[in-house]
Amino acid sequence: MVALPDSIDSVTGAGIKVAGTTAIRVITLAHVREGQTLLLHAATGGVGVFVTQLARARDAGVIGTAGAANQHYLASLGAIPVLYGDGWEDRVRAVATAPINSVIDCSGAGVIAGSLELVVPGGPIVTIADFEASGPGVVITDGSEPGFEDALREAVKAVEHGTVQIPIEKVFPLEQAADAYRLSESGHVRGKIILTID
């Protein structure tokens, strides 16, 4: 457990744990470093938004896939937005001005094969959503790996220091959990959905 600083409200705080600890883990496993280029799938989802901001804070370039409604938002985070869906590989090639050193897949939408074509040979491809993925450099992570015991503390600090801002899509009371779930399943969420308990 980590104490929530006074500067972070409880709704924002509720959005940190899963997205934040996952983002810390995948960005570490993908070896994202200054001057490199990361291809990030589902860049405006809860984890993706966190990863985008962490990567940009490390001075890494980010090419992010997202829906049409989130292209401008993704660009505002400092990433190069690319529309997901058929033909995404060609759209990534069109905007990539440097080799793609690593890939993080937060979508699970069958992007591993295309990512293998785009990443430098042997570059890490880390997925949190495609548990059938395989290939050179592919890493499937489910959070059971050791070595990330301080990930929550790091994630909270990133929000506290303003490195990461967490967009809240919508706040639902607990009795509307089914509505929150349906919104989550729509696949068109920017950031986090929060349930509150009165």
Q: What is the pLDDT of residue 55?
A: 98
Which superfamily is assigned to 12-140 in CATH? Answer: NAD(P)-binding Rossmann-like Domain (3.40.50.720)
> Tell me, what amino acid is at 81?
P
Six token digits for residue 49: 């938004």
Task: Identify which has the larger pLDDT, 53 or 169.
Answer: 53
Query: pLDDT exceeding 70 applies to what percent of the chain?
Result: 99
Rounded mean pLDDT of the chain? 95
Amino acid (one-letter) located at 54: L
Strand partners, 172: 195
- Three-state secondary structure of the chain: CCCCCCCCCHHHHHCCHHHHHHHHHHHHHCCCCCCCEEEEECCCEHHHHHHHHHHHHCCCEEEEEECHHHHHHHHHCCCEEEECCCCHHHHHHHHCCCCECEEEECCCCCCHHHHHHHECCCCCEEECCCCCCCCCCEEECCCCCCCCCCHHHHHHHHHHCCCCCCCEEEEEEHHHHHHHHHHHHCCCCCEEEEEECC
What mean pLDDT comes out for the span 160-178? 94
pLDDT of residue 80: 98
pLDDT beyond 90 at 125? yes
Assigned token pair, 28: 């570490």
**Domain-by-domain residue ranges, the chain?**
12-140
For residue 185, is pLDDT > 90?
A: no
Q: Write out the two tokens for 73.
A: 């938002």
User: What pLDDT digit, counting tens, does each position of 28-66 carry?
Assistant: 999 999 999 999 999 999 899 999 999 999 999 999 999
Question: Is the predicted pLDDT of residue 4 greater than 90, yes or no?
Answer: yes
